[in-house]
Amino acid sequence: MADGTAADPRTVYLKDYAPFPWVVDGVDLTFALAPGGPA
């Protein structure tokens, strides 16, 4: 994909399933700030 998000595979993955592209930004930040990370 050439949307410029290849630097963060997690974001690309979420974008494929998120109802709205802008939701991914919030979810990604939540994972980054959450203890233990996205795992």
The confidence score (pLDDT) of residue 23 equals 58
The confidence score (pLDDT) of residue 27 equals 61
Domain count, the chain: 1
pTM above 0.75, yes or no: no
Q: What is the CA radius of gyration of the chain?
A: 10
Q: List Cα–Cα distances, 17 to 35, 36, in angstroms.
A: 23, 22
- 4 domain residue, yes or no: yes
The confidence score (pLDDT) of residue 18 equals 55
Task: Retrieve residue 2's tokens.
Answer: 């050439």
- 16 domain residue, yes or no: yes
Q: List Cα–Cα distances, 39 to 1, 2, 35, in angstroms.
A: 24, 26, 9
User: Could you read off the pLDDT of 1-39 as tens digits, one per residue?
Assistant: 455 555 555 555 555 665 655 555 666 666 555 566 555
The confidence score (pLDDT) of residue 6 equals 54
Q: Pick from 5, 29, 31: which is nearest to 16 by CA?
A: 5
- 39 domain residue, yes or no: no
The residue range of the domain holding 14 is 1-33
